[in-house]
Chain A
Amino acid sequence: MENQLVIAIGVFVVTYLLIMSEKLNRTAVAMVGALLMVLLNIEAQERAIHYIDFNTIGLLIGMMIIVNIMKKSGIFQYVAVKAAKIAKGDPWKILLYFAVITAVASAFLDNVTTVLLIVPVTLVLTDTLELNPIPFLVPEILIANIGGTATLIGDPPNIMIGSATGLGFMDFLINLGPVVVVIFIVTMIAFKYGYRMHYRASDENKRKVMKMNEKLAIKDPVLMKKSVIVLIFTIFGFILHQYLGYESATIALFGASVLLLISKVDVEDILFEIEWTTIFFFVSLFILVGALEEVGVMQFLATQLLELTKGNMVLTMMVILWVSAIASSFLDNIPFVATMIPLIKSYGVMSGLDVTPLWWSLALGACLGGNGTLIGASANVIVSGLLQRHGHKMSFGYYMKIGFPLMIVSIIISTVYLLVFII
């Protein structure tokens, strides 16, 4: 047993370090780590499969299918152009409307998808307005990560937490929604005053924006109607899932299946577009963390946490919130949350306390922490890559000067919120 403990910790630490180093593909590393756990008999094959959270996997796949079909209709571009025209081409108003769209979209879709939908349109608009896109894209990154914090389906850490704990869509929205709204407002105020020089455009360029035709953005009006209807029903399904006794994955996969059936899209193409590398990364992480649970590492760490905090819920909440935030600024928050979930569960069992507030601390820390640095969240990395392709370089330091202080502000707001409203 002792040997198994050493091997499990060794495999886990090496895998984690390799993922952090970003020298090798994170999915390939996690898969090798997970399979080593099985091959070295740390966890039996059946147990390894038992540790895979198929609710998280199903929810991710379901939402990816819905988004992949929806984006074929051109609805996101339509909404974006419409918003830009309502803003009359005014750069600040465009940013504000786009921030609202980003926040709402990222609450229901994953953050990477949201930025992939909003950023191309933003780049075209900043190009038209002859403005530097960075002061538009940085807030969009931050808002995507902030908006995703509000719901069960908005960010992978929340999906994992919801699936592991049984907390439902409305639990997340009620407990995290209000603080997310406050953080959104504070962040946008910071940009309005911090970057105001960058949100000015000539009247001629504004007129060019007004000449854009939102109707041209619609590729398939029938598909647009079908996908909007299915998305609305799916969101209703999420709102009601805990009362109806269904898992969130069931709702997402049902919505996805119906849309696949009625949309007349090429099913093979849609399934091909699913981010299988992300899915396999999740599966592998579940097996890796499951191995640590098997050998008792999680119980040991929970004991240490209990000793450190002496069962003080406020202290534990703060430790989890701030450690999650700082860690998620520099590390991939998915493996971090995958590790924290069994740890908090064990902590709950050992202390006999209701650990629900700890889940909100973990969700806020892990989701908002991603805003701290350019590598803190996938959305940040993607936007940086897109900017680079457009000849704009956003350095790690440049982003951190804006992102890190705003992330700290968001965690301070979360601290106050947790202390006043949650505990």
Chain B
Amino acid sequence: MRKLMNAEVMEHDFKLRQMGADVQVINSKMCFVVFLVGKYEIAYVYNINKKGKYFLERIKPYPLALREFEKEEDVIDIIEIDLEQFKNASNSHNIESFVDINVNFNRSLLKFEDLFLYYNVPKETADRIKAHLNSIDTIIEETKHTAERLYFKKNPDNL
């Protein structure tokens, strides 16, 4: 099995180099982590390598972009906080629409990417999308000031 995997890596490496890439193959361990919170499965995948870099990504209930960490503790801390926040959120009566909105955001993002990569999108359409996004952003900002804060262990990363 390992031999087949190595052969496949070699094939990819060869193809990508012919496309002009610089490819580095690094031995690493990939960890899949799954928690069950209420009826939701919270799943993460992270990669540990000898260069001391950790790549963490949440894959369920909705994907969260890949992030790079310097220390193993950071990965565990992030998962711990994330999980705690999900546990809190799972008690909210809004949890279903919260997950649903996030799933839809991700789906819309993929559709938007396809739209721009496959079609010649008129400027007015791009402006309309921007305007919609701004209004969503405004709702989020406004709600931040009016809603009660529930989690204090760390400050929000993006808000």
Which A positions have Cβ atoms within 8 angstroms of B? 71, 74, 77, 112, 116-117, 119-121, 123-124, 212-213, 216-217, 219, 266, 268-269, 272-273, 275, 382, 385-386, 389
Chain B contacts for A272, CB-based, 8 A: 27
Stretch at the interface among B5-13, B58-66, B74-82, B92-100: B5-13
Q: Which single member of A123, A216, A382, A389 contacts B18 (CB below 8 Å)? A: A216
Does any Cβ of A come within 8 Å of B111's Cβ? Answer: no
Interface of chain A, helix or strand or loop or mixed? Answer: helix
* A119 and B14 within 8 A (CB): no
Does any Cβ of A come within 8 Å of B150's Cβ? Answer: no
A116 touching B27 in the complex, CB below 8 Å, given contacts A77-B14, A266-B50: no
Question: Given A112-B3, A217-B14, A217-B17, 14 other A-B contacts at CB below 8 A?
Answer: A71-B10, A77-B10, A77-B14, A120-B11, A120-B14, A213-B18, A216-B18, A266-B50, A382-B7, A385-B4, A386-B7, A386-B8, A389-B4, A389-B8
Chain B contacts for A269, CB-based, 8 A: 27, 50
Taking the nearest CB of chain B, how far is it from the CB of A117, in angstroms? Answer: 7
Chain B contacts for A123, CB-based, 8 A: 11
Chain A contacts for B71, CB-based, 8 A: none
Interface size range of chain B in the complex: 10 to 19
* B14 and A121 within 8 A (CB): yes
Chain B contacts for A119, CB-based, 8 A: 7
Does any Cβ of A come within 8 Å of B15's Cβ? Answer: yes
Taking the nearest CB of chain A, how far is it from the CB of B17, in angstroms? Answer: 5
Does any Cβ of A come within 8 Å of B156's Cβ? Answer: no
Taking the nearest CB of chain A, how far is it from the CB of B102, in angstroms? Answer: 34
Across the A-B interface, the 5 shortest Cβ-Cβ residue pairs = A120-B11, A120-B10, A216-B17, A116-B7, A385-B4
Does any Cβ of A come within 8 Å of B20's Cβ? Answer: yes
* B14 and A124 within 8 A (CB): yes
* A116 and B18 within 8 A (CB): no
Q: How far is the CA of A385 from the CA of B3 in the complex (A)?
A: 10
A117 touching B10 in the complex, CB below 8 Å, given contacts A213-B18, A382-B3: yes
Chain A contacts for B8, CB-based, 8 A: 120, 386, 389
Taking the nearest CB of chain A, how far is it from the CB of B104, in angstroms? Answer: 34
Chain B contacts for A386, CB-based, 8 A: 4, 7-8
Taking the nearest CB of chain B, how far is it from the CB of A303, in angstroms? Answer: 41
In the complex, the chain B residue whose C-beta lies closest to that of A74 is B17
Q: How far is the CA of A112 from the CA of B10 in the complex (A)?
A: 14
Chain B contacts for A266, CB-based, 8 A: 50
Q: How far is the CA of A213 from the CA of B16 in the complex (A)?
A: 12
Q: Which of B7, B15, B18, B23 has the most CB of A within 10 A?
A: B7
Q: Which of A74, A120, A121 has the most CB of B within 10 A?
A: A120
In the complex, the chain A residue whose C-beta lies closest to that of B1 is A385
Chain B contacts for A217, CB-based, 8 A: 14, 17-18
Taking the nearest CB of chain A, how far is it from the CB of B113, in angstroms? Answer: 27
Chain B contacts for A389, CB-based, 8 A: 4, 8
In the complex, the chain B residue whose C-beta lies closest to that of A383 is B7
* A216 and B3 within 8 A (CB): no
Chain B contacts for A268, CB-based, 8 A: 50
Q: How far is the CA of A220 from the CA of B79 in the complex (A)?
A: 38
Give residues of chain B (17-70) contacting chain A, Cβ–Cβ below 8 Å.
Answer: 17-18, 20, 23, 27, 50
Q: How far is the CA of A112 from the CA of B27 in the complex (A)?
A: 21
* B3 and A212 within 8 A (CB): no
Chain B contacts for A120, CB-based, 8 A: 7-8, 10-11, 14
Chain B contacts for A213, CB-based, 8 A: 18
Chain B contacts for A77, CB-based, 8 A: 10, 14, 17
A212 touching B7 in the complex, CB below 8 Å, given contacts A266-B50, A269-B27, A272-B27: no
Q: How far is the CA of A74 from the CA of B10 in the complex (A)?
A: 9
Chain B contacts for A112, CB-based, 8 A: 3
Q: How far is the CA of A219 from the CA of B17 in the complex (A)?
A: 9
In the complex, the chain A residue whose C-beta lies closest to that of B5 is A389
Q: How far is the CA of A386 from the CA of B23 in the complex (A)?
A: 21
A382 touching B4 in the complex, CB below 8 Å, given contacts A216-B20, A217-B17, A272-B27: yes
Q: How far is the CA of A71 from the CA of B15 in the complex (A)?
A: 16
Chain A contacts for B18, CB-based, 8 A: 124, 212-213, 216-217
